[in-house]
Structure 1
Amino acid sequence: MDLTLIVVLVILLALFFDFTNGFHDTANAMATPIATGAMRPKVAVALAAVLNLIGAFLSTEVAKTISGGIIKEGDGGVQITPVLIFAGLVGAIVWNMVTWLFGLPSSSSHALFGGLIGAAIVGAGIQSIDFVVVLDKVVLPALIAPFTAGVVAWSATKLAYWITRRYDGRPDGRGGFRYGQIFSSSLVALSHGTNDAQKTMGVITLTLISAGLQPLGSGPEIWVVIACALAIALGTYSGGWRIIRTLGRGLTEVKPAQGFAAETSTAATILASSHLGFALSTTQVASGSVIGSGLGRRGSSVRWGTAGRIAIGWLLTLPSAAIVGAAAGLLANLGPVGVIIDTIVGTAVVVYIFWRARRNRVSSENAVKPVPLQGKSEVAQSGKAVKIEKVKPLKRERPRRSA
């Protein structure tokens, strides 16, 4: 297959993945202010889209981790071809769409890494993967960041309730935090653009380097940054309603003060990690923050069974996407016929999933209505993992009448 054609195909596919990343993950940031009534749904999602657009221009460290870190560089360039990158993207998109449809706990970031690693192993051999970088920049941050965000959220919640302790006993004494959530949710959306949009930038840059169209060790071109920023912003605005509805019931059980603490902790963790070049999952960090904020409130406890199911979902994403990416890579190695088969099968899966999703259409009008507990993403389930224990009032004994 002509090299220019496959490069163009990979770029388009990467931008589509960026689009799916937008409606799969980014709207998570705005679920809480919508549910608490602090912002109107359309305004909140539009704000998230703009902030993702802005965030994509703030850093390129994560993009460099993907374009020049995970896949080893040899004497003749990176040890992966544009065809294998195409196969990896097919694996990432298919897994991303399937988990989005069924509301299974999933990370778009780890789906991308898994797809690329699986395709590279079957096409270029296991030696093409720099597992030291994968461990340092992907695996360890995925384990440490949610715990760190949880500890920060726990501390912030304790502090928030201590500062406002004079409002104890009032029905909505801390309602002002719901407006603070506009600021904290905006920070989450900004940090998501800073971290997640860069992953697609890194994939496109890796493709250009592997095709010899860009020198080794170079970062993303300005047109790549602009294209990826627009793709994730468009995905955020057009497809976030399903995720917002999924998250609504779970996160609204968390009080405004807790939500403010959790979102601020999430944003701080992701922004710091983006600066260091760590590729994080926004939903994983947000889940840790939600659980931490729940533990920080007196009278709450955690359903560790639910938290365990969330952790299993995280663990399955990378290897599952790697298997799909490896299967797509085996087909792609057959030549142009394999690439065509991958394209047809991948397109059919995406079209079918969108068709299934339209049978249960979600818009700004019904996005905030309660939904059943099953089928929630990990942030929603982490919200349900926080259980508020109600204290029963003491019964007063009636005075006995004298005979």
Structure 2
Amino acid sequence: MTEASETRSAVQEAPGASPSRLRRLMRHVPLIAPVLLFAVPCWVLLYGGQNWPLPATLFGTGLFVLGLVGMPFAMARGHGRRQQDRAAIVGDTLLGASWVLFTWSVLLGVLLRLALTVAGVGEGQDRARIVTWAVLGVTAVLLGWGYAEARRVPRVRRLEVRLPRLGPGLDGFRVALITDTHYGPLDRARWSARVCETVNGLEADLVCHTGDIADGTAERRRAQATPLGTVRAARARVYVTGNHEYYSEAQGWVDLMDELGWEPLRNRHLLLDNGGDTLVVAGVDDVTAESSGLAGHRAHLAGALQGADPDLPVLLLAHQPKFVDQAAAAGIDLQLSGHTHGGQIWPFHHLVRLDQPTVAGLSHHGARTLLYTSRGTGFWGPPFRVFAPSEITLLVLRSPQRSASS
């Protein structure tokens, strides 16, 4: 999400407000957000005029208080120094469930109540209870569906991408993209193997992984990542780091991917030739790499392109879409990214847009640069995907010269 440096800059430049006061407010956001996630649904479902029997009200309130206390505790034990996977699963699940419940408590608590009032349906208590059951029903359905969406093998999204500088010998070049697999507390070794089988069925010339392989170290998540070694590509398998690698010993992931037969493109490129034409495939470390303090890790586009013919088309791997500003300035033809998850749980994509230029799909930037942002192959944290389906992407590169002659 928004980098710390950007937050500090916004605080310093905010007009008409005391920087120190804003800093104090920002410090309280991690405390305020969980309270709102549980307090708003609690009020809408239990105290919005329903007049439930006292035992039911007390029981429901107790559940919300338990969630409010339990979620941060489980998250701290699961993702903090202890790294307890079972606690992480509980905390992540509570986070996702509370977000969905909060969203629909707000929407239905206002819109449905208003619609019922306008339609003259029910009196105060009856109307409030209709809203309660509607919120609970919608939340239950979305969580069940969202869990199934998160755990299934992603569907393949296919699209053709026309690159004006691509030579006719490379027309039809097939690029498979996976990203944000996020192997984590929930063991997904079988899921990983099935994803790799799906990728192999695409018979791609080039297979790319644009980072965020896992949450945890390479040693801890090796079993889930090992199936990546079975991926086949006619020409190359390439990988770049994501921001989550820098939370968990990034060099270990670079070494493991190299061991599994993938080429880590750490600010370097390779050349792929076909039919007398050449494609430059370049990659950069994630934009958070330098701030990690890990020696030699940083996003360095000039280094990635050093020695490449500037007249050749360039396919760039960069984990975060925001890197496209640099890519466009350098005249990159196509950048492949992930990171956003398409928002993962609606309507979180609105917050993603505050930090990234795009959430999903193909977009144009600058004079000739195209950016494809994948919604991701796996999921981060909460095991839910709501209105943001995962994907394995097959991009077929097209040359204008070949298209014109065919």
Q: TM-score, normalised by structure 2?
A: 0.26
Greater strand fraction, Structure 1 or Structure 2: 2
Which structure has the higher relative contact order (CA within 8 Å, separation 6+)? 1
Q: TM-score, normalised by structure 1?
A: 0.26
Greater helix fraction, Structure 1 or Structure 2: 1
